[in-house]
């Protein structure tokens, strides 16, 4: 049986995003004021205004991220979508190589070292209903993924995990056995 599931997660607006927007607004105003004060630049004022507006739009829309999780027959892929104009692959892993999965606890994970860490959830700090997935993957080394799955995503992940990993992660949930 083929498994395919997608989930889109909208990243929450945080203080850092507000600071980026405020700094770009202040920078735009300063550039426009300097353009009006310097006589040699005043002739090119309309072009500078257009450039500043375009740069301001690009910067403010670049902080609008969404993450798309897709599970396809044991492959877990995550893409970052930037304001619906650009898609960037974050990672793609085979779930059969997963060594551990569960609810994310930053204190529990603090003592472990990972080659690569991806935080691809609703928040950047891993708070809320985040889960983690870790393992040694050929392309990434020791990898830790912190993500925000819904129930359907977890159900799509579960059949692709090793039996011991699945039972440890979903011990309180009833195990579905294969009907082959």
pLDDT digits (tens, 9 = 90+) for 120-169: 887 666 556 789 999 998 888 999 998 989 899 999 999 989 998 888 88
pLDDT digits (tens, 9 = 90+) for 2-39: 889 999 988 888 888 899 999 999 999 998 888 888 88
Residues 21 and 98 in one domain: no
Give me 5's structure tokens. 């599931």
Query: Structural domain of residue 94, as residue ranges?
Result: 4-10+66-169
Supply the pTM of this predicted model.
0.75
Residue 98: what are its φ and ψ, rounded to 5°? -70, 130
Average pLDDT, the chain: 86
Q: Choose among 155, 159, 108: nearest CA to 134.
A: 108
How far is 33 from 23, CA to CA, in rounded Å? 15
Residue 89: what are its φ and ψ, rounded to 5°? -70, 125
Q: Are 65 and 151 in contact (CB under 8 A)?
A: no
**How far does CA 32 lie from the centroid of its chain?**
35
pLDDT tops 60 at residue 180:
no
Residues 70 and 55 in one domain: no
How far is 41 from 31, CA to CA, in rounded Å? 11
At 176 the pLDDT is 52
Residues 49 and 72 in one domain: no
What's the Cα-to-Cα distance from 30 to each of 24, 66, 123, 160, rounded to whole Å? 10, 31, 32, 55
The verdict on residue 174 lying in a domain is no
Among residues of the chain, what percentage have pLDDT more than 70? 91
Give residue 174's pLDDT band: very low, low, confident or very high (50, 70, 90): low
Number of domains within the chain:
2
CATH number at 81 reads 2.30.29
Residues 140 and 92 in one domain: yes
The verdict on residue 179 lying in a domain is no
Residues 55 and 78 in one domain: no
Residues 75 and 120 in one domain: yes
* DSSP SS3 for 105: coil
């Amino acid at each position: 049986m083929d498994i395919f599931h997608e989930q889109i997660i909208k990243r929450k607006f945080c203080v850092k995003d507000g600071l980026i927007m405020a700094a770009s607004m202040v920078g735009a105003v300063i550039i426009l004021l300097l353009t009006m004060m310097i006589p040699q630049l005043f002739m090119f004022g309309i072009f500078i205004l257009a450039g500043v507006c375009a740069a301001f739009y690009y910067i403010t829309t670049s902080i609008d991220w969404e993450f798309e999780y897709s599970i396809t027959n044991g492959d877990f892929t995550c893409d970052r979508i930037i304001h619906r104009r650009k898609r960037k692959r974050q990672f793609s892993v085979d779930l059969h190589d997963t060594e551990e999965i569960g609810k994310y606890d930053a204190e529990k994970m603090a003592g472990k070292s990972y080659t690569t860490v991806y935080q691809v959830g609703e928040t950047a700090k891993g708070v809320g209903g985040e889960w983690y997935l870790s393992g040694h993957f050929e392309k990434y080394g020791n990898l830790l993924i912190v993500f925000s799955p819904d129930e359907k995503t977890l159900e799509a992940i579960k059949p692709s995990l090793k039996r011991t990993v699945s039972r440890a992660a979903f011990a309180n949930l009833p195990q579905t056995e294969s009907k082959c």
